[in-house]
Amino acid sequence: MNASNRDGAGDLLLAATALRRVFRLPRTSVFGSRAERHALAGVDLDVHEGASIGIVGESGSGKTTLARILLGLDKPTAGTVTYRGRTVTPGPPASLRWLRTDVQVVFQDPASSLDPRMSAEAIIREPLVGLRVPGDHSDRVVEVLEAVGIDPGTRHRYPHEFSGGQQQRLAIARALAPNPKVLIADEPVSALDVSVRAQILDLLAGLMGDYELSLVMVSHDLGVVNTMCDEVVVLHHGAVAERGRTAEVFAAPSDPYTQRLLAAVPRL
């Protein structure tokens, strides 16, 4: 399952430099300044072609904030994100089409990420329309459905008519539709049953190979990261506690937080 024969030494695709994100909390008193939450406190990240990076952290680590900033969905307080050298500036969806044709996202909970009032086909078609992807859209919809293992004959069905695992496949199909180079997956299997997780992870690994995708996977599950990602970045309170090749970091962590994290994982 581990795509370890790709050593991630291709072109630099996404690069995040010195990212800081401070959230100003709502006012709790008339006097004094508003409290601040430092979600990200100086994070660097490089995503090369062919890379598979796991961003590991617990709640409050900043991993979800990081994912949103990489996608241009949130503006960092400081620092920059570039894709192939071009700066990512958050703004209306139209201004970021150039980024989103190459960088796509899969969310954690398919029940939330699929509009219950749209058919599977309409859901997958949306990025093709929104990102002005050339070519026949109907054909592309069928193509990606087959790639994720969903019978294209069921494409007029609604999300609730699919199982949880199938819904996540639909979400992956949607992300795949514009033929991106980078897939950012935010806890892609956490909401799924254990027996379904392996299937979805296998699917992702296969797609990464077939479509030459780079993967950035945000997860709290070290086992999943160990299975899928060659590199790992451990986030703690918005800063990078440790980073490196997954096998090495997990075998011999040098940072105390990483050590605590690894010690806490229940082993079978």
Partner 1 sequence: MSPVLRILRDILRSPSGRAGVALLAIVVVAVVVSYLWIPYDPLRPVPGDDFLGISRDHLFGTDASGRDLFSGVIAGARVSLLVGVTSALVAGAIGTLLGVLSAITPRAVGESVAYVIDVLIALPTIVLALVLLGLFGGSLFTVSLAIGFGSGTLLARVLRAETKRVLSHDYITAAAASGTSTLRTVFRHILPNIAPIAIVQLSLIAGLAIIAEASLSLLGLTSLSRPSWGRMLRELQATLSANPGPIAYPGGALVIAVLGFNLLGDGLRDALDPRLRTNRGALLSERPDLVVVPADDPIAADREAPR
Partner 2 sequence: MSLLEVRGLTVAFGDQVVVDNVSFSLDGGGRMAIIGESGSGKTLTALSVIGLAPETATVTGSVVFGGEELLGRADRALSKVRGEDIAMVFQNPQTSLNPLMRVGKQVAEPLRRHHGMDRRAALAAAVELCGRVGLPDPARTVRAFPHQLSGGQRQRIGIAIALACQPAMLIADEPTTALDVTVQAEVLAVLAELVAAGDGASTALLFITHDVALVPAVADHLLVMRSGAIVESGPVAALVDDPQHDYTKQLLAAARKTALR
Extract the tokens encoding 191.
Answer: 């909401």
* Cβ at position 115, least distance to partner 2 in Å: 22
* Cβ at position 263, least distance to partner 2 in Å: 8
Which of residues 46 and 255 has its CB atom nearest to partner 2 in the complex? 255
* C-alpha count within 13 angstroms, C-beta hemisphere, residue 63: 25
Is-contact 68 74, C-beta < 8 A? Answer: yes
The contacts of residue 158 (CB under 8 Å, 6+ apart) are 116, 117, 118, 119, 120
- Max intra-chain CA distance, the chain: 62
State the binding string over 84-123 for partner 1 (x if CB under 8 A, else -).
Answer: --------xxx-xx--xx--xx-xxx-xxxxxxxx-----
Integer Cα distance of 8 and 186 in angstroms: 20
* Cβ at position 245, least distance to partner 1 in Å: 29
DSSP state of 268: -
DSSP bridge partners of 46: 15
Extract the tokens encoding 207.
Answer: 């797609």
Counting contacts by CB under 8 A, is residue 151 touching partner 1?
no
Counting contacts by CB under 8 A, is residue 30 touching partner 2?
no
State the binding string over 167-206 for partner 1 (x if CB under 8 A, else -).
Answer: ----x--x---x-----------xxxx--x----------
Q: Which of residues 126-145 bind partner 1 (CB under 8 A)?
A: 126-127, 129-132
Extract the tokens encoding 224.
Answer: 């999943």
Residue 260 interacts with which of partner 2, partner 1, none, CB < 5 to 8 Å by class = partner 2
CB atoms within 10 A of CB 21: 22
Closest Cα partner for 58 from 235, 226, 208, 186? Answer: 235
Residue 222 interacts with which of partner 2, partner 1, none, CB < 5 to 8 Å by class = partner 2
87-114 CB burial, b ≥16 within 10 A, e <16: ebeeeeeeebeebbbbbbbbbbbbeebb
* Cβ at position 190, least distance to partner 2 in Å: 10
State the binding string over 221-250 for partner 1 (x if CB under 8 A, else -).
Answer: ------------------------------
**Site residues, partner 1 (CB under 8 A):** 71, 73, 92-94, 96-97, 100-101, 104-105, 107-109, 111-118, 126-127, 129-132, 154, 156-158, 160-161, 164, 171, 174, 178, 190-193, 196
**Site residues, partner 2 (CB under 8 A):** 1, 58-59, 164, 189, 193-195, 197-198, 201, 220-224, 226-227, 250, 260-268
